[in-house]
């Protein structure tokens, strides 16, 4: 049987995450995966058809089981002609997750939160794709600190909600207070509106305004992919801080209630901490349930 697999392996090493993509038939993938023994906590996304799933299981079983790693296997329902890749990096002293969403079909990419490591982030975004836009979940310093250097590498427009402009424009001064060097970010090119639809190639994300952690916090919801980039609103087991300047606990409550409406199987990619799902948070997150604060 001739089959080609595409595996995206997210590896977490000493607090920073990287992703690697492996393509090819199972017998070729096995040695390549095995030759990378530094991998710890791999999270593997399999983009393949059900037909080749057993081939994938064989590869993973042989390569990873002896190492006793925790595996998280997801079988994508995506067609090869319609592939999406989401890479992330965890950057800076606040361990901020920044994401690159890539439509492999149209070869367009978007950076979500230029929080740091601008060279790495830019290299990820332009690896086989054209960086189309930079979307900001909000304007806090740890999410904007790489924007000035990113602008030097790309003129991709920066999109953010207007209500976070005071935080965004104050980032450099805030950096001096926190001892966290932050170059003044370039001006925002376009302001996001609640409910508008953004595109990356063939894929659409709805902008959902979720004030509370900051007045202009937004999430990007890829409904067809059952994935939401939630910024600092909802975390695995927790929520964003509401004791910072311009934060508002009551608004946060309403924003969490909006997210509560989403289906259980929506993947949540947060601004900090590990990936989770709406269903998992519904069961275990003490802040998420309506009326809990």
Residues that bind Zn ion (CB under 5 A): 140, 142, 232, 271
Pick the closer one to Zn ion by CB: 132 or 145.
145
Closest distance to Zn ion from the beta carbon of 94 (Å)? 6
Closest distance to Zn ion from the beta carbon of 218 (Å)? 12
Pick the closer one to Zn ion by CB: 140 or 203.
140
Angle at which helices 53-64 and 26-34 cross, to 10°: 20
- The two tokens of residue 30 are 């096995």
Pick the closer one to Zn ion by CB: 42 or 216.
216
Full 3-state SS string of the chain: CCCCEEEEEEEEECCEEEEEEEEECHHHHHHHHHCCCCCCCCEEEEECCHHHHHHHHHHHHHHHHHHCCCCEEEEECCCHHHCEEEEEEEECCCCEEEEEEEECCCCEEEEECCCCCHHHHHHHHCCCCEEEEEECCCCCHHHHCCHHHHHHHCCCCEEEEHHHHHHHHCHHHHHHHHCCCCCCCCCCCEEECCCCEEEECCEEEEEEECCCCCCCCEEEEEHHHCEEEEECCEECCEECCCCCCCCCHHHHHHHHHHHHCCCCCCEEEECECCCEEHHHHHHHCCCCCCCCC
Residues β-bridged to residue 19: 10
Closest distance to Zn ion from the beta carbon of 274 (Å)? 15
- The answer to whether 8 and 20 are in contact (CB under 8 A) is yes
Pick the closer one to Zn ion by CB: 87 or 232.
232
| Alpha-carbon gap, residue 199 to 219, rounded angstroms | 14
Closest distance to Zn ion from the beta carbon of 29 (Å)? 35
Q: Which residues of 147-163 are buried (b: 16+ CB within 10 A; e: fewer)?
A: bbbbbebbebebbbbeb
Pick the closer one to Zn ion by CB: 122 or 213.
213
Closest distance to Zn ion from the beta carbon of 150 (Å)? 17
Pick the closer one to Zn ion by CB: 241 or 253.
241
Pick the closer one to Zn ion by CB: 143 or 151.
143
Closest distance to Zn ion from the beta carbon of 121 (Å)? 15
Pick the closer one to Zn ion by CB: 56 or 275.
275
Closest distance to Zn ion from the beta carbon of 113 (Å)? 8
Closest distance to Zn ion from the beta carbon of 99 (Å)? 13
């Amino acid at each position: 049987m001739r089959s080609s697999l595409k595996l995206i392996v997210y590896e977490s090493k000493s607090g920073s995450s990287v992703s690697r993509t492996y393509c090819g038939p199972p017998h070729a993938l096995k040695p390549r995966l095995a030759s990378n023994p530094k991998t710890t906590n791999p999270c593997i996304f399999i983009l393949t058809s059900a037909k080749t799933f057993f081939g994938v299981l064989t590869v993973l079983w042989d390569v990873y089981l002896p190492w006793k790693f925790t595996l998280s296997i997801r079988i994508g329902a995506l067609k090869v002609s319609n592939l999406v890749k989401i890479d992330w990096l965890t950057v800076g002293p606040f361990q901020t997750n920044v994401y690159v969403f890539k439509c492999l079909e149209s070869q367009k990419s978007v950076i979500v939160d230029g929080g740091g490591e601008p060279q790495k982030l830019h290299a990820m975004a332009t690896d086989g794709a054209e960086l189309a836009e930079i979307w900001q979940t909000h304007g806090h310093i740890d999410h904007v600190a790489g924007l000035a250097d990113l602008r030097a590498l790309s003129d991709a427009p920066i999109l953010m909600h207007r209500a976070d402009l005071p935080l965004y424009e104050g980032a450099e001064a805030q950096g001096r207070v926190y001892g966290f060097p932050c170059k003044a970010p370039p001006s925002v090119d376009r302001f996001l509106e609640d409910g508008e639809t953004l595109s990356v190639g063939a894929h659409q994300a709805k902008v959902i305004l979720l004030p509370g952690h900051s007045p202009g916090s937004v999430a990007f919801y890829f409904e067809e992919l059952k994935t939401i980039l939630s910024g600092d609103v909802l975390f695995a087991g927790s929520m964003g801080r509401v004791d910072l300047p311009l934060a508002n606990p009551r608004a946060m409550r309403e924003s969490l209630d909006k997210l509560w409406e989403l289906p259980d199987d929506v993947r949540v990619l947060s601004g900090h901490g590990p990936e989770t799902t709406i269903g998992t948070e519904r069961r275990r997150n003490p802040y998420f349930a309506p009326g809990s604060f």
